[in-house]
Amino acid sequence: MMTVQFTCKNCGSGIHVYPSVDAHKIACDVCQVEQVVKFNKEHEEGNLHDCPSCERKDFYSQKDFNRKLGVMLFVLAAIISTVLLWFGINPLWYLSTFVFLYLLDFILFRRLKLIAICYKCQTVFREVSNIQEIQGFNHEMNDRIVYSNHDFQGKPLDH
Ligand SMILES: [Zn+2]
Ligand SMILES: [Zn+2]
């Protein structure tokens, strides 16, 4: 089932919900402020064509990469190599920690699923059925949507 991660307009916290046509308002767990959402039958079926938050039709897809995990791996590599250096272990081992963690990161990254994100309001959609229809991030579209409030109506730019 598709899950939707809204961003609270008041405090910026993530609000995770399952689409339901009966849900017209969602409340933030942190600050309790409510916001209006517009779910339709398509959302319940996991198909994404309209944003339930801003009602735009422009989305991009990307890997569900967890930045915190990436940073954690890097810190871990730094700690391991410092310890190895402290014990006077061959610098090759020192290098191999980074190589190992780089590979681990690469494997994890490749296994990550695609998610869809609304250009306009940054709402995140997971387990989207029609994810293959959604193109990757386009800088020009993003700039025009964010800075000039252009509405592409779900038709991606083709070059
Ligand atoms: Zn909030
Ligand atoms: Zn939106």
From the CA of 22, how far away is ligand 1's center (Å)?
Answer: 21
From the CA of 8, how far away is ligand 2's center (Å)?
Answer: 12
- Token look-up 């959604």 returns 134
**Taken in order 119, 121, 122, 124, is the CA torsion positive or negative?**
negative
Indicate which ligand has the atom closest to the C-alpha of 12.
1
- Token look-up 């810190």 returns 75
Specify the pLDDT at position 159: 60
pLDDT tens-digit profile of 95-136? 777 788 778 777 776 777 899 999 999 999 999 999 999 999
Specify the pLDDT at position 18: 96
**If you count DSSP H runs as helices and E runs as strands, how many of each does the chain have, helices first?**
4, 7
* Residue 10 to residue 153: CA distance in whole angstroms: 27
- Token look-up 């064509």 returns 49
pTM: 0.76
pLDDT tens-digit profile of 23-78? 999 999 999 999 999 999 999 999 999 999 999 999 999 988 766 777 787 788 78
Specify the pLDDT at position 101: 77
* Residue 103 to residue 111: CA distance in whole angstroms: 12
Q: Are strands 114-118 and 124-126 parallel, antiparallel or unpaired?
A: antiparallel
Indicate which ligand has the atom closest to the C-alpha of 4.
2
Specify the pLDDT at position 92: 75
Question: How far is C-alpha 68 from the geometric centre of its chain's CA atoms?
Answer: 13
From the CA of 53, how far away is ligand 1's center (Å)?
Answer: 15
Task: State how far the alpha carbon of 25 is from the alpha carbons of 21, 35, 37, 49, 55, in Å.
Answer: 11, 6, 6, 20, 14
Residues 6+ away with beta carbon under 8 Å from 102: none
Indicate which ligand has the atom closest to the C-alpha of 31.
1
